[in-house]
Chain A
Amino acid sequence: MIEIEEGGIASTVQDLGRTGHYHIGMPPSGAMDRYAHTVANYLVGNDADAATVEMTYQGITATFRDDAVIAVTGADMSPSLNGEPIDTWATVAVDAGDELELAFATEGARAYLAVAGGIDVAEVMDSRSTYTLVGIGGHEGRGLEEGDRLSIGDAPAERRELVGTRIDNEDVPDYADEDTVRIVLGLMSHRLTDEAKETLCDSEWTVSPEADRVGYRLEGPDLEFEEREQPFGAGTDPSNVVDLGYPLGSIQVPQKPIVLMQDAVTGGGYATVGTVISADRGLLAQRQTHKTVTFESVDVDEAIDARRDQNARLEEIRADIEGEE
């Protein structure tokens, strides 16, 4: 069991998300940075879908009431155990009574704490992910607070043998440098003027303070729409369309672009003009407020290749870790 002493700014229990309910308005939720979440799980011998604690900007302080095997990945929040710094992207042993403390993120925005056996909260619609808007999943459907107790799932004793494993440096992302996010233009992009389409891909966009698990609002130049007589049912503003489904990662343009993230609104009446590719959504989730991003337009096959590459890399990491057991 883990006892939370400080909950951080926005710390939630997440796995790979719930699927099959988007059509009733239920977003997948799940880890914002799937890569970091998955590596953390692999380092402690879990499956990719085990639940971790996702921490935003400021990590948790917590005391372990049982021996455990943990890994911290993602944003660098300078984790320490009983005051002694511990490795990140590495497997670490924890003894009952140890206090884990994470500080403010120096690089990246989201860190993941995996524990061998996974965070054991009840599943809602086959997922342990927290969706705070309606208060389901995770720990009581909300962010972690002082006094919360998280159960840990059962894990075989051999997991201790993983302690000391660290993934190769080349597999550790350098979040400070990752400012290019690949997108596939399309959806309703024909509604933008040609100039606006260029502006979307040529500009530096700044992550605004309104950037959370629902969406990332970006600051930058204005994007103009083609003038038209609005179709019946769409509404009067040129950015309005007859309400439609929003892909995860899609960029909608009410005024300034908003990229929809894991707790996305599933549909609505603003024109969507492109979609961040699945392999890069985690990179965007690691961009801090006031940092910039640039969109690079790629075609659908490049997007699929990037996804394959990321999955192949995760599979190699998993196989390497297993080899050390």
Chain B
Amino acid sequence: MDNERITPVDLPEPRYEYGADDHVFVELAEEMSFTANFKAMAITQQVAERDIDGVVENCPANASYMLRIDPEIIHPDDLIAELKEIESEIDLENYDWETRIIDVPVLFEDPWTHETLMEFRERHQDPDGTDLEYSAELNGFDGVESFIDAFVGAPHLVTMVGFVPGLPWCFQMVPRNQQLEVPKYVEPRTDTPSRAVGFGGAFSVIYPVQGAGGYQLYGRTPIEVLDTEQTLPDFRDSMVFPNPGDILNYRRIDREEYDAIREEVEAGTYEYNYENVSFSPEEFFESPAEYNEQLMEVLE
């Protein structure tokens, strides 16, 4: 694997916007980059630490963030002034954060997502192929196998959680020229199996529950990202497992392992394979491939 470094991006001036009287939305960049995401995370962490009176929701997103407020406690303009101050003080070079590296087993080309994607073929750019065949060709791979190799070849950073509870948006931890990119379905599907692993724009996702969706479908994980009953041991504190800033390592598994893990999940005994690590954006930018390898070692 080559050791190309990631060049931090020069971000434009943030755009501060009102979401009516009770939200402030801040766009850090129109395009996705690690720099924009790390900045969103650093600022929202600062907002949480300052425990600003009147802030009721604090939501980092891919290249932006949003706060919900009680404007009778804090005027949006006063909050924006404080956010500008925080923004000017953020120094990503000296920023580390505690995160988790998580093993996410995936059965690619599984029968369930295959059935769904065949059912909605007329809504897809390529009615004659599969989502994986389409994505492989579009990204210049010679076949599905080598595309999957690239997909699992480097970990994916959770850059946002939302849409529905527990759905992680993930950005693969590689330089821009190695990033995969695919359009969403021409028309969204009305159905997607729960735990489907999909890809759209430059983001991989795991669908927590069955429902509508427009991302290309590649496989299915036997593990849950949402457990409303909180029966699984790793869900004791929260019904959602992934958090912004987590690092997911998608791992290719076969049907036998899928079934075995699924059995443990259904019995309520499955424990996630993850480790706490300290993440340094600066070291990651300097040598992503090497840094990723170091991160992965903790899972072994």
* Chain A residues within 8 Å of B, Cβ to Cβ: 19-26, 133-136, 141, 183-184, 186-188, 231-237, 240-245, 247-250, 265-269, 272, 275-279, 300, 303-304, 306-308, 311
* Set of chain A residues within 8 Å of B250, measured between Cβ atoms: none
| B166 engages A22 (CB within 8 Å) | no
Verify A244–B165 contact, CB threshold 8 A: no
Is there a chain A Cβ closer than 8 Å to B201's Cβ?
A: yes
Chain A residues with Cβ under 8 A from B299's Cβ?
A: none
Residues of B within 8 A of A244 (CB): 25, 27, 61-64, 66
Tell me if B162 and A133 are in contact (CB < 8 A).
no
B31 & A234 in contact (Cβ 8 Å cutoff)? yes
Q: Which of A26, A247, A248 has the most CB of B within 10 A?
A: A247
Q: How far is the CB of B74 from chain A (nearest CB, A)?
A: 11
Q: Which residue of B lies closest to A135 (CB)?
A: B228
Q: How many pairs, one residue from A and one from B, have CB atoms within 8 Å of each other in the complex?
A: 191
Question: Roughly how many angstroms separate A306 CA and B211 CA in the complex, as a whole number?
Answer: 37
At the interface, yes or no: B60 with Cβ under 8 Å from chain A?
Answer: yes
| B83: Cβ under 8 A from any A Cβ | no
**Cα(A243)–Cα(B18), bound, Å:** 18
| Option from B23, B161, B181 in Cβ contact (under 8 Å) with A23 | B161
How extensive is the interface on chain B, given as a class? 35 or more
Q: Contacting B161 at CB < 8 Å: which of A24, A234, A235, A241?
A: A24
Complex Cα spacing A133 to B164, Å:
9
Enumerate B3-60 residues with CB–CB distance to A below 8 Å: 17-23, 25, 27, 29-33, 56-60
How far is A245 from B77 in the complex, measured between Cα atoms in Å?
20
B161 touches A265 (CB 8 A): no
Most buried by B among A231, A242, A304: A242
Residue pair A243, B31 in contact (C-beta under 8 Å): no
**Minimum CB distance partner of A131 in chain B:** B165
Question: Are B20 and A183 in contact, CB atoms less than 8 angstroms apart?
Answer: yes
- Separation of A187 and B171 alpha carbons in the complex (Å): 23
Is A186 a contact partner of B18 (Cβ separation < 8 A)?
A: yes
Residues of chain B lying within 8 A (CB to CB) of residue A19: 56-57, 68
Collect the chain A residues with CB atoms within 8 Å of residue B162's CB. 22-25, 245, 265-268
* Contacting residue for B56 out of A20, A267, A303, CB 8 A: A20
A-chain residues with CB within 8 Å of residue B20 when the two chains form the complex: 183-184, 247, 249, 275-278, 300, 303
Could you tell me if B201 and A234 are in contact, using CB atoms closer than 8 angstroms? Answer: yes
In the complex, the answer to whether A243 meets B160 with C-beta atoms within 8 Å is yes
Q: Which of B104-112, B238-246, B266-274, B282-290 contacts A (4 or more CB under 8 A)?
A: B238-246
Given contacts A233-B181, A233-B202, A233-B203, contact A134 B164 (CB under 8 A): yes
**Chain B minimum-CB-distance residue to A233:** B32
Please report the C-alpha to C-alpha distance between residue A303 and residue B21 in the assembled complex, in whole angstroms.
Answer: 5
Q: Quick one: CB contact mask for B89-102 with A, threshold 8 Å, 1 for yes?
A: 00000000000000
Please, which residues of chain B bring their CB within 8 A of the CB of A234?
30-32, 201
Residues of the B chain whose Cβ atoms lie less than 8 Å from the Cβ of A266: 59, 162-164
Residue B255, interface by CB 8 Å: no
Q: In the complex, are the beta carbons of B62 and A233 less than 8 A apart?
A: yes
6 contacts between A and B (CB under 8 A): A25-B163, A184-B18, A233-B171, A243-B61, A245-B66, A278-B22
Chain A residues contacting B160 (CB-CB under 8 Å) are: 243, 245, 267
Contact of A232 among B23, B32, B64, B211 (CB under 8 A): B32
- Among all A-B residue pairs, the 5 with the closest Cβ atoms: A233-B32, A247-B19, A231-B31, A245-B66, A267-B162
Contact partners of B193 in chain A: CB under 8 A: none
Residue in B30, B75, B181 whose CB lies within 8 Å of A304: B75
* A300→B228 contact, CB < 8 A: no
Contact check, B62 vs A243: say whether CB atoms are below 8 A apart.
yes
**B169 interfacial by beta-carbon distance below 8 Å:** yes
State in angstroms the CA–CA spacing of A120 and B20 once bound together. 33
- Establish whether residues A248 and B166, one from each chain, have CB atoms under 8 Å apart when the complex forms: no
Report the separation of the CA atoms of residues A231 and B202 in the bound assembly, to the nearest whole angstrom.
11
CA distance in complex: A26, B228 (Å): 11
Whether A232 contacts B31 in the complex (CB less than 8 A), given A245-B61, A307-B21, A311-B72, comes out as: yes
A66 CB to closest chain B CB, in angstroms? 31
Contacts of A184 in B (CB 8 A): 18-21
For the complex, give the distance between the alpha carbons of A304 and B238 in Å: 34
A215 to B287, CA, bound (A): 44
Q: A23-B57, A231-B29, A248-B23 are in contact. List 4 more A-B contacts (CB 8 A).
A: A24-B165, A136-B239, A235-B200, A269-B201
> Which of B56, B65, B228 has a CB less than 8 Å from the CB of A136?
B228
**CB within 8 Å for A242 and B66 given contacts A184-B20, A233-B181, A267-B163:** no
Q: CB of B183 within 8 A of chain A?
A: yes
Contact B176–A245 (Cβ < 8 Å): no
Please judge, given known A-B contacts A19-B56, A278-B20, A300-B18, whether A240 and B72 are in contact too, CB under 8 Å.
no
- Is B226 interfacial (CB-CB < 8 Å)? yes
Determine whether the beta carbon of B32 is less than 8 Å from that of A242. Answer: yes
* Complex contacts, B166 vs chain A, CB 8 Å: 24-25
Q: How far is the CB of B123 from chain A (nearest CB, A)?
A: 14
The answer for the CA separation of A318 and B200 in the assembled complex, in Å, is 50
Q: Measured between alpha carbons, how far is A231 from B17 in the docked complex, in Å?
A: 19
In the complex where A24-B162, A233-B31, A235-B200 touch, is A269 in contact with B184 (Cβ < 8 A)?
Answer: yes
